[in-house]
Structure 1
Amino acid sequence: MLKHKTITFFCVSILVMMLVLSFLSEVKWWYFLLLFLFWLVMTVWGSSDIRLGYFIKTYCNNQDEKKRRIALTFDDGPHPMTEKVLEILRKHNAKATFFCIGTQIEKYPDIFKRIIEEGHTIGNHSYSHSNSFGIFSTEKVTEEILHTNTIIEQLSGSKVLFFRPPFGVTNPRIAKAILDTKHYVIGWNNRSLDTVIKEEAKILERVKSKVKPGGIILLHDTSLKSANVLEQILLFLKSENYTIVPVDELLNLPAYEN
């Protein structure tokens, strides 16, 4: 699954062969450039698309799921809007997974506790959710993960095992931090883009078009727009006879340390 190592090994092997050949005959300079560009494109693509599992094993769906089961996940809370999301979930008797930011938990500890009290699963979504997360050192990423874990444990009594990197970004430094802290990386295969798309109808259609058994839907519990779309998604899933389950149940993975 560590595809980055495979691609890098392949590129280095080709590079060595080209260097050897260059002593025997002329090798065009742009061959070297093409090789480098291939490695660069693969690295950038792998860093930005969590579904590839390019640097570390990621869980983005359950391809072996035979029943119509699907998971709803929410990023970036807790937030005042989380309470409306919780009300909608309770109304439809649905359990979701919330990937929470450490600073947000500190701001809204009561809302965080309510998520747990209503039977939803909690995951770690870093402490700061910084726009610079992708260039953090391994030490800094580790600090962010462990700090948030501590906050969660103090309020819930549980040690979380699920981690979702901000923006779904991974790289060798983030991968090492995750391996060191022994977390499962949880991604998605149905991204709503509810923080980007303005029209609720377009968000809904995007999600509906990607719904499949074993899927993981990514939403955010930070806006009224997303809460409104959630209600419509739940109605759609019910009409299609889907059962909504937490990520740990869908993937058969432990969400918390025993």
Structure 2
Amino acid sequence: MLIRNFVNIVFIVAGIVMITAISFNKLSVWSLIVLVFCWVLITTYGVLNIKAEYFLKSLNNNPNIKEKKVAITFDDGPDLNTLKILEVLDKYKVKGTFFCIGKQIETHPDIAKEIIKRNHVIGNHTHTHDKFIDIYSTNRFINEIEDADIAIQKISKKKPLLFRPPYGITNPNIARAVKKTGHTVIGWNKRSFDTTIPSEKVILKRITNNLKNGDVILLHDTKLITLSVLEQLLLFLQSNNYTTVTIDELFSIQAYA
């Protein structure tokens, strides 16, 4: 049972009990208001935190990995900066997983082909990554996923099976869309915040602090600061005997159909 279903059942039962008590003047109506507020808070947390697996199942890390293996993932490309990211990965003989936006692939098809050529993995990150995409209807979100699949297939000749929701946001419409398209949802448990934090040192510390076997690291190949952080991260992993693998390797799943 998804956490959402369990939470809803608990709150519905609690609500019925409270309404009954209020009708007999045993409780104040404020008790019901507090209950509803708590439900809103929990649901909001579930929407914003993919690791909560509130609306759908996602692979955020693999704690069963015994070897010192981690996965580095990149969102929002391909971008001109992606070429520099690829050079750094080549330098350290490391493979990454790139969750690409369909429109970005259409804008930079040669860079997308370069990702494939260098044996990295490409996953689906929707077609537009619109800032209001989290309120799209189920059908519109299905179109977002399928259009991005088409863009990826054009350059890879393979249908991607890995999907990461924009911003890591999930909701019932996204859950229904992913169930329809059949993708495996990939989250993360090491968020760098390289899109908002201006300090390389702080970003690197966020990633490396308490790093464990099977962790999934989130970076963005569209950011210049990520380039510097990536090289420092790879040096850290190398010195601490970590191996970097792609998402499909980390979870022993298929990246493409």
* TM-score normalised by L of structure 1: 0.97
What's the counterpart of residue 155 of structure 1? Answer: 155
SS of 1:241's equivalent in the other structure is coil
**Once the 2 structures are TM-superposed, how far is the Cα of residue 38 of structure 1 from its aligned partner?**
1.1
**Once the 2 structures are TM-superposed, how far is the Cα of residue 155 of structure 1 from its aligned partner?**
1.6
What's the counterpart of residue 135 of structure 1? Answer: 135
User: 2-side partners of 1:4 and 1:208: how far apart?
Assistant: 31
User: 2-side partners of 1:60 and 1:235: how far apart?
Assistant: 23
User: 2-side partners of 1:24 and 1:199: how far apart?
Assistant: 58
Higher alpha-carbon deviation: 170-179 or 10-19: 10-19
What's the counterpart of residue 229 of structure 1? Answer: 229
What's the counterpart of residue 5 of structure 1? Answer: 5
Higher alpha-carbon deviation: 223-232 or 15-24: 15-24
**Once the 2 structures are TM-superposed, how far is the Cα of residue 205 of structure 1 from its aligned partner?**
1.6
Amino acid paired to 1:219:
L
1:187-238 C-alpha deviation (Å, 9 max, x unpaired):
1010111111111122112211142110000001012210111011000000
Moved runs in structure 1, 4+ residues, more than 4 A? none
Equivalent positions of 1:54-203 (< 5 A) are 54-203=54-203
**Once the 2 structures are TM-superposed, how far is the Cα of residue 5 of structure 1 from its aligned partner?**
1.2
Report sequence identity in percent: 44
1:125-156 C-alpha deviation (Å, 9 max, x unpaired):
01111110111111111110000001111221
| 8 Å Cα contact 1:190-1:210 kept in structure 2 | no
Amino acid paired to 1:56:
L
| 8 Å Cα contact 1:102-1:148 kept in structure 2 | yes
Q: 5+ unaligned residues in a row in structure 2: which ranges?
A: none
SS of 1:70's equivalent in the other structure is strand
SS of 2:33's equivalent in the other structure is helix
| 8 Å Cα contact 1:116-1:122 kept in structure 2 | yes
User: 2-side partners of 1:108 and 1:71: how far apart?
Assistant: 24
SS of 1:81's equivalent in the other structure is helix
Amino acid paired to 1:59:
L
SS of 2:72's equivalent in the other structure is strand
User: 2-side partners of 1:104 and 1:163: how far apart?
Assistant: 16
Equivalent positions of 1:35-46 (< 5 A) are 35-46=35-46
| 8 Å Cα contact 2:191-2:218 kept in structure 1 | yes
What's the counterpart of residue 15 of structure 1? Answer: 15
Higher alpha-carbon deviation: 241-250 or 18-27: 18-27
Equivalent positions of 1:204-219 (< 5 A) are 204-219=204-219
**Once the 2 structures are TM-superposed, how far is the Cα of residue 76 of structure 1 from its aligned partner?**
0.4
User: 1-side partners of 2:28 and 2:223: how far apart?
Assistant: 54
SS of 2:80's equivalent in the other structure is coil
What's the counterpart of residue 48 of structure 1? Answer: 48
Amino acid paired to 2:145:
I
Tell me the matched-pair count: 257
Higher alpha-carbon deviation: 2-11 or 89-98: 2-11
| 8 Å Cα contact 2:220-2:226 kept in structure 1 | yes
**Once the 2 structures are TM-superposed, how far is the Cα of residue 27 of structure 1 from its aligned partner?**
2.1
Amino acid paired to 2:69:
R
CA RMSD across the alignment? 1.0
User: 2-side partners of 1:20 and 1:224: how far apart?
Assistant: 58
